[in-house]
Amino acid sequence: MEAAAEKLDDVDISTVSSSEDQAVVRADYTLDGQEHSSEFTLHPADTQWGFFTVWDFDRTTLPTMHVTMPGSTAVDINGESVALTDSARDFAVFYPGIYTGSYTSPMVAAEPEQTVVTNPANETTLNLKATPSDELKSQVSEQTKTYLDKCAEQDTLYPASCPFSYEFSGRVQDNVTWSITEYPTTDIRLSGPNVDRWGLMDAPGTAKIEFTSVNLMDGKTSQVSEEVPFTFKGTLEVTEEEATVTPRH
């Protein structure tokens, strides 16, 4: 990647050793203002005008850079988007160079991480930490709230497919009214066997139930108003631009 060497300056070449069939040269330079050096091995490739030796670089294996970002299928390396397989990938990279990994999407973001590669023996790693974006948090919160509000609309002690209910052995007169007094604060984290999928942590909330009860012995009525703690559980699917929350019971 050309961008890796954009901040390469102040290059100074010197000979470390030399013989008829091999030479080792040292390059001193700065990368992004920091001093570094690399050594290169050369071999005679040709002669010019019969007596000037033309040297060429020995072939060598390029350094490997291992990039990981759990929860993502792509990252940006020096501004170029590259795909990941199972949230990771190995790249052969040129040296010397600076490589910066980052990622931003509507759902997920990652703070930039940087590494410097100066020789072929470098096997460097860029570990990017994915964090849920404000948009992802907003979508999860909105869907959770909508689901709980629909639960609260049910005129029953036991709202169907909902995380709260009220045990009562007496008789209910007229309607049962539910309201959500404390919505769960959904905690979005990476989970799964390889910690590479987004998931929701169980979150506490509170509902309130109100109704008129009838005493079965004397027929007298009284008002019931109770806070009902509950736990919201759900699974989460995240695409490039959309989150889907599926409640669990």
What tokens were used for 114? Answer: 């940087």
Sign of CA dihedral 192, 195, 198, 202: positive
Residue 234 has pLDDT above 90, yes or no: yes
Residue 44 has pLDDT above 60, yes or no: yes
- Kindly report the average pLDDT of the chain as a whole number: 87
Q: Report, as an integer, the average pLDDT of 40-61.
A: 72
The full set of domains in the chain, from first to last, is 2-57 (no CATH), 64-131 (2.60.40.1120), 134-248 (no CATH)
What tokens were used for 108? Answer: 């997920």
- Greater model confidence, 201 or 48: 201
- Could you tell me the pTM of the whole model? 0.73
CB 89 within 8 A of CB 125: no
**HEC secondary structure over 52-97:** EEEEEECCCCCCEEEEECCCCCEEEECCEEEECECCEEEEECCCCE
Under 8 Å CB-to-CB from 138, ≥6 apart: which residues? Answer: none
Which amino acid is it at 59? R
Q: State how far the Cα of 89 lies from the Cα of 75, in Å rounded to an integer.
A: 10
Q: State how far the Cα of 228 lies from the Cα of 184, in Å rounded to an integer.
A: 13
pLDDT for the residue 193:
64
